Structure 1
């Protein structure tokens, strides 16, 4: 098994990603079921996304402030059987969340 390092910044990004992506998806589903497409739905989605981004940022800040310079060495399992496209998608998602919480 390989070894890797996780730290407070990694944890903050991962938690913020869960909050942002899952929260946004669930709230958008509710909005789409209640509002017909058009400008009102688009505006409501934008406001909702801003709110979820703020909550994600707050969670990331709490983790960073609480854990500070914490880091831990972990064992990493065998390489997942991911395609290059799947790896790229995961990297893009991580970068998106980093930009939201910075």
Structure 2
């Protein structure tokens, strides 16, 4: 699996269990995981260099934001140098959308 974040591990385990329950073989499940292309704007690595990494993430629910922040902080805490984790959030909610939440 080439996608970071605990949420992706959890989703992979859940999808694998459902695929097994539906009759998929272990080899079919493995092939599906290897072929998975991800979802646009979910932990989407757009740029990576030795000094910086830019990840686009469409987290818009409190639990998704928490998962993204936890992932970012976890990456930085494992580094041996003095990197820092920064996150910028853009909220494009309309008044209507906020009223129905």
TM-score (norm 1): 0.33
Q: Which has the higher contact order (CA 8 A, sep 6+)?
A: 1
TM-score (norm 2): 0.33
Q: Which has the higher helix share?
A: 1
